Amino acid sequence: MVLDSVLTSASPLTAKQLESLTGLTTDLTPIQKAWLSGYFAGQLKSDLSLPANESVEPAAVIKLLYGSQTGNGRSIAEKTAATYQAQGLNVELVSMADYSPRQLKNESHIVIIVSTHGEGEAPDDAVALYQFLHSKRAPKLPELKFSVLALGDSSYEFFCQTGKDFSKRLLELGAQEFVPLAECDVDYEETAASWSQTLAIELEKTVTKTAQVLPLNTSATTIQASGFTKENPFSAEIIVSQKLTGRDSDRDVRHVEIDLAGSGMTYQVGDALGVWFKNQQSLVNEIIIALGFSHDEAVGDNTLQHILTEEKELTQLTPSVVSAWAEYAQNEKLNKLIKNKEQLRDYITHHQVIELISQYPASVTAEQFVNVLRPLTPRLYSIASSQDEVDEEVHLTVAKVVDERQGTLRLGAASRFLSESEEGQTVKVYVEPNSHFRLPDDPATAIIMVGPGTGVAPFRAFLQQRSTETITGDSWLFFGNPNFEQDFLYQTEWQQFLKKGVLSRLDVAFSRDQAKKVYVQHRLLERGEAVWQWLQTGAHLYICGDAKRMAKDVHQALLAIAQQHGGLDTEQAEAFYNELRINKRYQKDVY
């Protein structure tokens, strides 16, 4: 990093200045350091800029296009644009949803930052551009130079697939990739920062810069007026933690209310709440004992116990973590495992760090072990309340993740933290806007909501919001869970919404209350004719919940409805729902 090299080489700064700069940069992330590097370069450019009476040729416009589902892509794009603008590069930041695909033939440089959604799908705001590029209408682009940063999760089969597809298709159309595709996993910061710096160097070589530093162009919709963000969360108090499931239920689902008083934080229905958490102390102890370390062993400036409790992921494995551990374990079985992508994905899904190090032991130092692990990342939860209804509160619906493996219970990190937190305890939170999951602008528009399990959370917020406004549009909720008596989340509230007319229709599917399991997709098929009629008259469709199974099954049911009641073939049915997505009438919040 530029700033790092400044601190380690002969410095023109005074001792006091150097001490101040060191204190400022110590805790910065790689992306923040890259931004500062660009900012200082831009300030120097401004100081040495040409006199006002001298002319320069117009600076080439670099289009930075982003497609983001959960906010990471958008955040990286904003920081990258700010860095380049500070360096004097003429960068125009544009969401793919707001970009005209036919403009591509007029571009000289584009930078793409795009995530992969679900099982290899483009995020909602990238669908139109993605489809255009892969259609016969896409023009040849021999004059275009581009680079792609792909975001994904390596625990999924189609890792970074959307970014790979963009890169491959642009190359097929004759465009030139001036910086190779970079693939980011869930711990994306270092990869993104490295790619951004490499790209900046290449742009410096080929693009005429502006004469002055451009103003930072950060979208106002993504910045909390309160100043509380992922990097600077608010310490909020948990005021209610209430179990929603019955005593005989096989799951523990909690309704959690958090006090935002004094924060100035605001949110819209459809947004998510980012939650920072601490790892379970018994799990931390188990790992330290398994490796033969002491709790107070120093690693850098902290103890091993502190780092494992507050700084590192212990419950979620990634291919990179398993591969890094395999370097130390030198176990033939593990080496074979990491070479088989399907088996590796299955292992990652069903194991945690403690099981990896127990099954494949290795001799490592505490520092080596810490370096194997990836940084702790906050979890996003769909907000289950409308701020117009609950004021300075935010509500969540949290299912405690519990898996039994060889007689030992393994818990999800954040869900365990929230479920076991007592009223009065503090939790660090921030709002993550989700512009891809919004109520229709027109209050007369009907909505269809499909939310089994905790996927019903944002629909509670939707209906709270509609109950505070003059809404004339119908609403239809499909809810599912295992058992009517034990798992009917927010049952009383749905009944009240029905009584008030805020909720027009409610269809439920309790899978284990009869011999043959019934899920929400079966209810959709049973009501297929009415669902199709609602869609034909302009209804918006929403799905929230499990991405790997439920969302796929629901989508297949919707395709079947389009074919049975709309007379469409398979290709036409897919095109119909893709068009709904582009027009923001088919929105998903899946995980």
Q: Which domains does the chain have, with CATH numbers?
A: 26-222 (3.40.50.360), 234-277+378-432 (2.40.30.10), 281-372 (1.20.990.10), 447-590 (3.40.50.80)
pLDDT in tens, the chain (591 residues): 444 443 444 445 555 555 666 566 656 655 555 555 555 544 444 444 444 444 434 568 999 999 988 788 998 999 999 999 988 899 999 999 999 999 999 999 999 999 998 778 899 889 999 999 999 999 999 999 999 999 998 878 899 999 999 999 999 999 999 999 999 988 888 899 999 999 999 998 888 765 444 444 444 344 445 689 999 999 999 999 999 999 999 999 999 999 999 999 999 999 999 999 999 999 999 999 999 999 999 999 999 999 999 999 999 999 999 999 999 999 999 999 999 988 999 999 899 999 999 999 999 999 999 999 999 999 999 999 999 999 999 999 999 999 888 778 899 999 999 999 999 999 999 999 998 899 999 999 999 999 999 999 999 999 999 999 988 899 999 999 999 999 999 999 999 999 999 999 999 999 999 999 999 999 999 999 999 999 999 999 999 999 889 999 999 999 999 999 999 999 999 999 999 999 999 999 988
pLDDT of residue 70: 77
Coil vs helix vs strand at 519: coil
pLDDT of residue 33: 56
pLDDT of residue 119: 75
Cα(113)–Cα(163) distance, integer angstroms: 8
Contacts of 163 (CB under 8 A, 6+ apart): 112, 114, 115, 116, 148, 149, 150, 151, 152, 181, 183
pLDDT of residue 27: 60
pLDDT of residue 307: 98
Cα(384)–Cα(460) distance, integer angstroms: 6
Cα(330)–Cα(369) distance, integer angstroms: 15
Closest-CA residue to 257 (of 381, 397, 388, 432): 397
Contacts of 565 (CB under 8 A, 6+ apart): 528, 529, 531, 532
Cα(117)–Cα(135) distance, integer angstroms: 20
Contacts of 512 (CB under 8 A, 6+ apart): 482, 483
Six-digit token string for 310:
């507050």
379, 428 contact by CB (below 8 A): no
